[in-house]
Amino acid sequence: MQSCEESSESVDEPHSKGPRGSEEPHVIVIGGGLAGLAAASRLLERGFRHVVILEATGHLGGRVRSKEFCQTTVELGAAWIHGARGNPVYHLAEEHNLLVETTEEEHSLGRISLYSTVGETCYFTSSGRRLPRHFVEEFRDLYDKVFNLTQEFFQRNKPLDSEHSSSVGEFIREVMRKCIEEEPDDSSQTKRVKLAMLQQALKVESCESSASSMDDVSLAAFGEWTEIPGAHHIIPTGFTSIVDILQRGIPSSSIRISKPVRRVLWDSTEHCSGFSGSANQNGSSDGGCLENGIGGGGGGGGGGRNGTNGDSEKNPTHNMEPCCRVARTFPVRVECEDGECFLADHVILTASLGVLKERHGTLFDPPLPGDKVAAIEKLGIGTTDKIFLEFEEPFWGPECNSIQLVWEDDVGEESEQDQLRPWYRKVCSFDVLYPASRYGHVLGGWVCGDEALEMEKLDDETVAETCTELLRKFMGNPNIVKPRKILRTFWGSDPYTRGSYSYTRVGSNGADIDTLAEPLPYTDSTKIQPLQLLFAGEATHRKFYSTTHGALLTGQREAGRIVEMYAYGDGSEGKEKKLEELIRY
Ligand SMILES: Cc1cc2nc3c(=O)[nH]c(=O)nc-3n(C[C@H](O)[C@H](O)[C@H](O)COP(=O)(O)OP(=O)(O)OC[C@H]3O[C@@H](n4cnc5c(N)ncnc54)[C@H](O)[C@@H]3O)c2cc1C
Instruction: Provide the pLDDT for residue 412.
Output: 79
Cis preceding linkage at 19, omega within 30 = no
Q: What angle do CA 162, 165, 166 make, to 5 degrees?
A: 110
Per-residue 3-state assignment (H helix, E strand, C coil) for 344-395: ECEEEECCCHHHHHHHHHHHEECCCCHHHHHHHHHCEEECEEEEEEECCCCC
Instruction: Provide the pLDDT for residue 301.
Output: 33
Please give the Cα distance from 387 to 401 (Å, whole number).
16
Please give the Cα distance from 345 to 270 (Å, whole number).
14
Centroid of ligand 1 to alpha carbon of 63 (angstroms) = 3
Residue 382 sits at φ, ψ, to 5 deg, of: -125, -175
Instruction: Provide the pLDDT for residue 163.
Output: 58
Residue 550 CA: which ligand 1 atom is closest?
Answer: 19
Residue 35 CA: which ligand 1 atom is closest?
Answer: 25
Centroid of ligand 1 to alpha carbon of 62 (angstroms) = 5
Mutate to test the pocket of ligand 1, among 41, 63, 66 (most ligand atoms within 8 A of CB): 63
Please give the Cα distance from 483 to 396 (Å, whole number).
14
Q: How confident is the model at residue 23 (pLDDT cuts 50, 70, 90)?
A: confident
3-state secondary structure of 455: helix
Centroid of ligand 1 to alpha carbon of 361 (angstroms) = 21
The DSSP element (H or E) to which 115 belongs, if any, is none
* Higher pLDDT pick, 356 / 399: 356
Instruction: Provide the pLDDT for residue 321.
Output: 34
The answer to whether residue 305 scores a pLDDT higher than 70 is no
Q: What angle do CA 399, 404, 410 make, to 5 degrees?
A: 155
Instruction: Provide the pLDDT for residue 187.
Output: 96
Parallel/antiparallel/unpaired status of strands 501-503 and 380-382: antiparallel
Mutate to test the pocket of ligand 1, among 548, 553, 557 (most ligand atoms within 8 A of CB): 548
The answer to whether residue 506 scores a pLDDT higher than 70 is yes
| Per-chain mean pLDDT for the chain | 83
Pocket of ligand 1 (CB under 6 A): 30-36, 54-57, 62-64, 77-80, 82, 260-261, 350-352, 355, 384, 386, 489, 491, 496-497, 500-501, 537-538, 546-548, 551
Within the chain, how many helices (H) and strands (E) appear? Answer: 18, 24
Instruction: Provide the pLDDT for residue 1.
Output: 29
Centroid of ligand 1 to alpha carbon of 322 (angstroms) = 37
Please give the Cα distance from 92 to 246 (Å, whole number).
9
The DSSP letter of residue 216 is G
The DSSP letter of residue 488 is E
Q: What angle do CA 84, 232, 499 make, to 5 degrees?
A: 110
Please give the Cα distance from 320 to 277 (Å, whole number).
5
The answer to whether residue 316 scores a pLDDT higher than 70 is no
Per-residue pLDDT reduced to its tens digit, 207-253: 999 999 999 999 999 999 998 987 788 888 899 999 999 999 999 99
If you average pLDDT over residues 427-432, what whole number do you get? 94
Least confident of 15-24, 467-476, 489-498: 15-24
Cis preceding linkage at 366, omega within 30 = yes
Q: How confident is the model at residue 47 (pLDDT cuts 50, 70, 90)?
A: very high
Instruction: Provide the pLDDT for residue 107.
Output: 45
If you average pLDDT over residues 247-273, what whole number do you get? 86
Centroid of ligand 1 to alpha carbon of 55 (angstroms) = 12
Please give the Cα distance from 85 to 481 (Å, whole number).
44
Amino acid identity, residue 500? Answer: S
What count of Cα atoms within 13 Å lies in the side-chain half-sphere of residue 95?
Answer: 11
Centroid of ligand 1 to alpha carbon of 538 (angstroms) = 7
* Higher pLDDT pick, 248 / 23: 248
Least confident of 84-93, 232-241, 256-265, 388-397: 232-241
Q: How confident is the model at residue 401 (pLDDT cuts 50, 70, 90)?
A: confident
Q: What angle do CA 232, 537, 34 make, to 5 degrees?
A: 60
- What radius of gyration, in Å, describes the C-alpha atoms of the chain? 26
* Higher pLDDT pick, 4 / 99: 99
* Higher pLDDT pick, 102 / 252: 252
Instruction: Provide the pLDDT for residue 565.
Output: 92
Return the closest-CA partner of residue 404 out of 383, 385, 432: 432
The answer to whether residue 512 scores a pLDDT higher than 60 is yes
Amino acid identity, residue 466? Answer: T
Largest Cα span, the chain: 84
Instruction: Provide the pLDDT for residue 14.
Output: 33
Per-residue pLDDT reduced to its tens digit, 491-502: 999 999 999 999
Return the closest-CA partner of residue 463 out of 430, 444, 486: 486
CB of 500 closer than 8 Å to CB of 80 = no
* Residue with CA closest to ligand 1 atom 26: 537
Residue 363 CA: which ligand 1 atom is closest?
Answer: 41
Centroid of ligand 1 to alpha carbon of 288 (angstroms) = 31
CB of 237 closer than 8 Å to CB of 73 = yes
Centroid of ligand 1 to alpha carbon of 336 (angstroms) = 20
If you average pLDDT over residues 439-460, what whole number do you get? 96
The answer to whether residue 469 scores a pLDDT higher than 80 is yes
The answer to whether residue 284 scores a pLDDT higher than 90 is no
Please give the Cα distance from 109 to 140 (Å, whole number).
10
If you average pLDDT over residues 264-281, what whole number do you get? 54
Centroid of ligand 1 to alpha carbon of 571 (angstroms) = 30
What count of Cα atoms within 13 Å lies in the side-chain half-sphere of residue 209?
Answer: 28
Contacting residues for 37 by C-beta, under 8 A, at least 6 apart: 53, 60, 243, 246, 247, 250, 555
* Residue with CA closest to ligand 1 atom 34: 31
If you average pLDDT over residues 109-129, what whole number do you get? 73
pTM reported for the whole predicted model: 0.87
Residue 386 CA: which ligand 1 atom is closest?
Answer: 1
Instruction: Provide the pLDDT for residue 281.
Output: 30
Q: How confident is the model at residue 263 (pLDDT cuts 50, 70, 90)?
A: very high
* Residue with CA closest to ligand 1 atom 15: 547
Residue 491 CA: which ligand 1 atom is closest?
Answer: 53
Mutate to test the pocket of ligand 1, among 92, 353, 433, 501 (most ligand atoms within 8 A of CB): 501
Centroid of ligand 1 to alpha carbon of 194 (angstroms) = 36
Q: Report DSSP letters for 204-222, one per residue.
A: HHHHHHT-S-GGGBBHHHH
The answer to whether residue 104 scores a pLDDT higher than 70 is no
Instruction: Provide the pLDDT for residue 123.
Output: 97
Centroid of ligand 1 to alpha carbon of 89 (angstroms) = 14
What count of Cα atoms within 13 Å lies in the side-chain half-sphere of residue 19?
Answer: 19
Please give the Cα distance from 461 to 152 (Å, whole number).
45
If you average pLDDT over residues 541-560, what whole number do you get? 98
